[in-house]
Amino acid sequence: MRKNLPTSSWSVFDFDDKQKQLAGLERTTEAGDFWSDSSTAQATMRQISRLREEIDSWRAFRGHLLDLKELAAMDDESLRGELEGEVGSLEADLEQRAFTAMLSEPYDRDDALLAIHAGAGGTDSQDWAAMLERMYLRWAEKRGYETEMLDRTDGEEAGLKSVTIAIDGAYAYGYLRSEKGVHRMVRLSPFDAAHRRHTSFALVEVLPQVAMGDPDVQINPSDLKIDVFRSSGAGGQNVQKNATAIRLTHIPTGIVVTCQNERSQLQNRENALRVLRARLVELKRAEKDQEIAVLRGEYTKAEWGSQIRSYVLHPYQMVKDHRTEYETGNTQAVLDGDLDAFMESYLRQGA
C-alpha cells in the first residue's frame, strides 16, 4: 500500500510566525484610538481576517494529513483505493500551497488595482479593452475576490477607453502582476462592414493597493492640485447634476488620477488617493528596477506594442504568452477568466 505521504512540506508554512503576526495585529485593535483612522483600521481588520483564514486552512490541511497517516499505518489493503485518491488530492493541494508560498515579493499578499487602457485601433481596441475587463472580473469572481469599480470612461461607440478596478483578496497583487503589459487581439472585426481582420491593443496596468499608513508612501497635501468636475455618463438620468468627480494632480511627479464612479465627492477623493498611492509605489519600484538594469547593462526602454500576450480568434484559435511560450487553443475559456495556468507559468519562470 502507498504510504509516502507529503509530511516534510509543513515547513512551507511558518505556523508559529503567522500566529505571532496575528496576535500582534489583534493587540493593535485594542487601542482606544484604533478606529480614528478608518482606512488603516479596515486594512488591519482585513489582514487579521486573512491571517485567520490562512492559519485555519493550514490547520485543516495538517489534520487531514495526520488522519491519512493513521489510515496508512493500519496497512489495510481494502483501503488502498481510497487512500491513493486522498493522497493525490493532498499532494495537489500541497503543490498549490507551495506555489503560493513563492509569492514573496513586496505587496504580493496584498490587494491590487487593475487598470485597462484601450490602445491603437479605435472602436475595435475599445471593445477589446471591455473584453479584458470582463475577463479579469470573471477571473476575480472565480477566486472569490471582491471587486470595486473606481473609474470608467466608456468608448464613443462601444467598449471603454479606460477603467480602474480595485480587486481585494489574498495574493491578488501577487497573481495579477503577471498580467502587466500590452495585450494583443487578432479577430474579424464586428465593427468593420467588410468584416476584415483587425489587430487591436490594450494596456493592462497592475498596481499594489497601499494602506494609508504605509511608510513607503508619504503624500504632502501641499503637493496636490485638486479639481472637481461633473461626472460623465451615458446621458439622461446617468449624468450627474452636481460636481462630484475628482481629478488629483501630484505636482512633484506629474501623476494625474481621476475618479468619478461614486456619487459622493468624498468617496471619489478617497478612491483617487488610493490610486495615487499605488502609482507612487509603482513609480519608486520602476525607478529602482531601471537603475539595477542600467547597472547590469540590461536596460531597454519598454515601447507600446511590445505585447506580452496574443489572443488570436482568426484565422485560428490560440492564446499565447510571449514571455513563457505557454499557449492554449481554448480561447473562450481564457476570455471567460481561465487565467491561472498563464499566471502560474509566468510566476514559476521568475521564481
C-beta atoms surrounding 273 within 10 Å: 19
Q: How confident is the model at residue 292 (pLDDT cuts 50, 70, 90)?
A: low
Same domain, 312 and 204: yes
Average pLDDT on 147-168 reads: 92
> What's residue 223's pLDDT?
93
Report yes or no on 158 lying in a domain: yes
Pair (85, 136) in one structural domain: no
What is the model's pTM? 0.74
Boundary-marking domain end, from 258, 275, 296? 296
Three cell numbers written together for 149 = 469599480
Task: Give the chain's end-to-end CA distance (angstroms, integer).
Answer: 35
Q: How confident is the model at residue 317 (pLDDT cuts 50, 70, 90)?
A: very high
Which H or E element spans position 109?
none
What residue type is assigned to position 172 of the chain? A
206 pLDDT tier (thresholds 50, 70, 90): very high
How many folded domains does the chain comprise? 3
Same domain, 338 and 202: yes
* Co-location of 312 and 193 in the same domain: yes
| Structural domain for 145, as ranges | 112-209+308-349
Of 76, 101, 126, the position where a domain reaches its end is 101
Q: Report whether pLDDT(226) > 60.
A: yes
Inside any domain, residue 132:
yes
Predicted pLDDT of residue 256? 94
- Position 257 in a domain: yes
Cα(126)–Cα(144) distance, rounded to whole angstroms? Answer: 27
Q: What per-residue confidence (pLDDT) applies to 137?
A: 98
Residue 346 reports pLDDT greater than 60: yes
Per-residue pLDDT of 135-157, as tens digits, reads 999 999 999 999 999 999 999 88
Which has more pLDDT, 242 or 130?
130
Q: Is 54 contained in some domain?
A: yes
Do 116 and 42 belong together in one domain?
Answer: no
Q: Confidence class of residue 351 from pLDDT cuts 50, 70 and 90?
A: low
Between residues 136 and 109, which one has the greater pLDDT? 136
Cell of 348: 514559476
Both 147 and 82 in a single domain? no
Can you give the pLDDT at residue 232? 66
Mean pLDDT of all residues belonging to the chain: 83
Boundary (domain end) residue, out of 101, 125, 153: 101
Share of the chain above pLDDT 90, in %: 41
Does residue 301 fall inside a structural domain? no
Same domain, 119 and 97: no
Give pLDDT, residue 142.
95
Question: Do 247 and 120 belong to one domain?
Answer: no
Does 265 share its domain with 340?
no
Cβ neighbours of residue 40 closer than 8 Å, sequence gap 6 or more: 211, 212, 213
Is 97 a domain residue?
yes
Beta bridge partners of residue 243, listed in sequence order: none
Sign of CA dihedral 154, 158, 161, 163: positive
302 lies in some domain: no
Mean pLDDT of 170-177: 92
Give CA–CA dist 219/114, Å, rounded: 22
List the grid coordinates of 146: 471582491
- Measured between alpha carbons, how far is 249 from 122 in angstroms, rounded to an integer? 27
Tens digits of residue pLDDT in 38-92: 767 877 887 788 788 878 877 888 888 888 888 787 877 777 778 887 888 888 7
- The reply to whether 215 falls in a domain is no
Other beta carbons less than 10 A from residue 221's beta carbon:
6
Find the range with the poorest average confidence among 38-42, 159-163, 183-187, 297-301.
297-301
Which residue spans within 169-242 are E strands per DSSP?
Answer: 181-188, 197-208, 224-229
